[in-house]
Chains A and B, each alone.
Chain A
């Protein structure tokens, strides 16, 4: 159905008029969102947008290049600490600090990419995991970065304007997110993106046709780390207080999970995955206030389990959703979308 007759059709920014329409609609919807919804939902949107950034970047590494990473919370932490430190210690303006912190993360990503050249599968997983847990230990040791006692974010001033409320911050986070997602989408259509895919599908074949493995693998790590770094820098201002404990292994696992549940090897899949799982992560705490279900769960707890631990149902639901999605659709949410689309386009056959 998506027949392409020429190379330029494939790399075009908008593949059809319908896409232009939907893209415009999305931009408008994003623009009016904070005025329609309450402040709390704007906060949630900021949080989700930051997760989208990380996961889209992670997907360039995991989904397109076929490398696994369980250490992205480390890059996230570097971005967060880097941004604040550059602002308070070196008096960088915010945007410069954010981008510089992103590049610091990218350099670390490049360095981590070097040993990763020789590793794959579980070996790479444990090496990246090690990076993630080590970097927070190192940060905790540096007194300049607040050490173990954490660090407060300074006032946020962008282009001479103070951003204090969630609404104002929204108009900083969401445009950056949209830009980064578009950049990722375009990257996948370029020579670089195709080299990533070639490496993922057959490393040796890619090398024989002239793809520079060293360059592209480390590049994938660096780009992916840059995304996480920028997202981390923004996250520091969502919380306005950070300490090393925040960026634990669990966070890295969540990032990977979001990417995979969304659907590896697509751009919109991880966006959907990040939206679904980070929203669930925030909202599942209210599961006991759902009418009927909440009361039933409480009764069940009283009879067979314990009322003090009743909140842990969140974990069961969350884990159950992961299992359910991955069992039925290895391509994640993106797979569901493709199947639904196919079903409607070919209906009634």
Chain B
């Protein structure tokens, strides 16, 4: 009996000793860091799947350049078809069977919300949910780090610009009938109220709507001279096209979601020219308002590096160099930066600490800043809080209209 006990004791000591010598954090070994991500590769939302593939190519590039302090990034991404039940299944499987150190990006509000609690309970860091929903920062959570600028901010800055710079009086909005569109509506209404004005029309659109004539008629009846478009790129194309067919051509303004000008020009057959959109990266205001930039032939150093080094070398040949792909890079940059700052001795606690220490971190997107955790202050987890406006020109070039603009956060329930 005693012998058995002794043997057990020795066994346990050896095990603990081994653990102490190796890395006891889940998903980190001497040579690897396991990072997880979900993103729809199939189903109606599959166009956003490029985010995950962008991150994948970016990680491959980092590994090829020596990894992070001698460790390679192992990127596990799976297809959830934008179905929260599948997101939850995939996250659980990877977390429990492979062991994931941290999660990055992950497309969609509903899929993200389905796994939010699970990740929080286990205190697993999650950086850069790929949607501008307020849910990620309100209430702020210790381990969720937002990167994507909020849809609310898009709406505020676009409305502000239309009123003050363009001198528009009658502003309308077409919003997709979900979290994305509703927050756009809220942001626009907030600014209008501040100015003592009201939207002349707010028209809901379903994701599946392919016939936009009733929507355009509503807009036309309201005689709006500027219209905010909080819908998908396909919806924007149909709305602008139908508008042209019905000779209704106000100033269209759209969100970061539709900021990929070459794509938008292609699917609108050139009608996107003159449309103003918000943007969180890809191009950059360099201080010269009115400057022309093209994402196909990037003028900016960092963007050009990513195109040549990441896209050309590690993306599959049928991948498109576009906004969605580069968003996948941009959303994971803060994580990589924080991992670098952690040094060789990597734990989740340390990662959170280093992320909190990011101040005006500048990668592909705008400046990203976090602060030590404060449950009362959404700003400590908001990350990027600035966007700029651009106008679509011939050939999908963008004309920079404003410098980076910060937004005031609207708390929920106001």
Contacts and interface: CB of A to CB of B under 8 A. Distances in A.
> Is there a direct interface between A and B, measured as CB atoms under 8 Å apart in the complex?
yes
Interface stretch (B10-18, B78-86, B369-377, B389-397): B78-86
B interface secondary structure, majority: helix
Nearest to B183: A149
Contact of A38 (B46, B89, B97, B181): B97
Contacts of B81: 285
A134 interface: no
B41 A306 contact: no
A148 B177 contact: yes
A227 B178 CA distance: 28
Contact of B110 (A241, A282, A302): A241
B88 interface: yes
Interface string B174-189: 0001110110000000
Contact of B113 (A47, A150, A315): A150
Interface in B100-127: 110, 113-114, 116-117
A217 B86 CA distance: 35
Contacts of B178: 148-149, 243, 245
Contacts of B405: none
B341 interface: no
Contact of B89 (A40, A147, A312, A315): A40
Interface residues of A, number: 34
Contacts, number: 91
A150 B111 CA distance: 12
Given A44-B89, A148-B182, A308-B49, A239 B96 contact: no
B182 A285 contact: no
A47 B85 CA distance: 8
A311 B42 contact: yes
B155 to A, nearest CB: 15
Nearest to A38: B96
Interface residues of B, number: 36
Interface string B331-351: 000000000000000000000
A276 to B, nearest CB: 16
B391 to A, nearest CB: 30
Contacts of A44: 89
A108 to B, nearest CB: 22
Contact of B88 (A152, A239, A306): A239
Nearest to B53: A308
Interface in A113-159: 140, 147-150, 152
Contacts of B90: 285
B88 A308 contact: no
B80 A285 contact: yes
Nearest to A314: B42
A91 interface: no
B316 interface: yes
Nearest to B50: A308
B75 to A, nearest CB: 13
B89 A43 contact: yes
A162 interface: no
Given A150-B113, A302-B316, A307-B318, A239 B85 contact: yes
A238 interface: yes
A166 to B, nearest CB: 8
A241 B84 contact: yes
Contacts of A140: 177
B53 A150 contact: no
Contact of A39 (B53, B84, B92): B92
A282 B86 contact: yes
A295 interface: no
A239 B115 CA distance: 8
Interface in A29-68: 38-40, 43-44, 47
Contacts of B88: 43, 238-239
B81 to A, nearest CB: 8
B360 interface: no
A246 interface: yes
Nearest to B83: A246
Interface of A: 38-40, 43-44, 47, 140, 147-150, 152, 166, 238-241, 243, 245-246, 281-282, 285-286, 302, 306-312, 314-315
8 contacts: A43-B88, A44-B89, A150-B179, A241-B116, A243-B179, A245-B110, A311-B41, A311-B79
Given A148-B178, A282-B89, 17 more contacts: A38-B97, A40-B93, A40-B97, A43-B92, A150-B179, A166-B92, A238-B85, A239-B114, A241-B114, A245-B207, A246-B84, A281-B86, A282-B86, A302-B316, A306-B318, A307-B319, A310-B41
